[in-house]
Amino acid sequence: MTARVDQGFPASIRERNRSDRIVRRACAAAAVVALAPLVLVAVHALWLGAPHLTLDFFLNAPSSDPASAGIRPLLLGTVWMVALVGLVAVPLSVGSAVYLDAYFPQRRLARILGSNIGYLASVPSVVYGLVGLAVFARGAAMGHTLLAGAATLTLLVLPLLTRATREVVRAVPRAQVEAAYALGATPFQAIRFAVLPGSAGQIAAASLRALSRAAGETAPLVVLGAFTFIALNVTSPLDPLTALPVQVFEWTESTDARFRGLAGAAALVLLAGTLLLNAGATLVHGSSIGRR
């Protein structure tokens, strides 16, 4: 053992200090290289897209003519779906997280379901698109509507959000729940008054992150057959499926170079929206920690 260790170290302390500095710098350089893409992605999208960010761009519908193309129905489609996902996925995730970790935390069922959720979260999003196509669009005859899109995105976000919420609920000190029971609380009251108040901020943060994820998802909506390049009127969830990320995909894929700027502008709007939701999550999360 000693022989092996002795062999591995250079003889002089000066040499060792030099290699110490080299390793430090290499690690710092790796960190810089790893973080650089964040700035590059944002600056690149700004560079290509900013000239196209006019008021008309937000008010017009997509069209085959790049000069008058806009994103209004796409933006509305995404907002509708994100809202629907929030309405369904948040209560369901909180419900199952609370059931698994606060209600009967030791149950074997909880353990099995928990590992299940982990595997569900690892399934590629494009596969959720296939499931949505077979179950919601065709099986439930929702067709290519925003509702089918929202249902598919809900299915996709549920395991992610449930897992995140479970971590939050599990962090609530067990003694706090036991104290509530000792004061005569029923299980439901214990959850309502001992578990949820303290973790509400973090649950809200996890929810915002999940919604950001839903807003940026593209592959499942493409598989569902989302509409792009056409003028749609989006007023209800039963309107045709259309979403901003899918149009970013189509414009990027287009061989017509005139759409490049539009792709940049749409990517910029999508980036801003998702980052804002994430920033909101960090804000909420930060403040809830500050209050404790």
Query: Which residues ranging from 47 to 86 are in contact with another protein (CB under 8 A)?
Result: 48
Please, are residues 215 and 78 in contact by the beta-carbon 8 Å criterion? yes
Q: In angstroms, give the least distance from the CB of 63 to another protein.
A: 20
CB of 19 to another protein, least distance (A): 7
Contact between 40 and another protein per CB under 8 A: yes
Nearer to another protein, 37 or 235 (CB): 37
In degrees, rounded to 5, the angle at the alpha carbon of residue 204 between the alpha carbons of residues 200 and 205 is 120
Rounded to whole angstroms, the Cα distance separating 226 from 219 reads 10
Provide, rounded to whole angstroms, the least separation between the CB of residue 249 and another protein.
5
Decide: is 110 part of the binding site for another protein (CB under 8 A): yes
Per-residue contact flags (x/-) with another protein for residues 177 to 216, judged by CB under 8 A: ---------xxxx-x----------x--xx--x--xx-xx
Query: How many Cβ atoms sit within 10 Å of the Cβ of residue 50?
Result: 12
CB 234, min distance to another protein, A = 19
178-181 — which CB contacts under 8 Å span 24+ positions? none
CA distance 66 to 255: 13
> Binding to another protein (CB under 8 A): which residues in 222-261?
222-226, 245, 248-249, 252-253, 260
Q: Which is nearer to another protein, 83 or 254 (CB)?
A: 254
DSSP string, 242-264: --HHHHHHHHHH-S-GGGHHHHH
CB of 215 to another protein, least distance (A): 8
Joined tokens for residue 172: 């609530």
Binding to another protein by residue 35, rule CB under 8 A? yes
Q: Does 278 bind another protein (CB under 8 A)?
A: yes
Give the helix, strand, coil percentages of the chain, each rounded to 5. 80, 0, 20
In this complex, which beta carbon is closest to another protein, that of residue 127 or of residue 235? 127
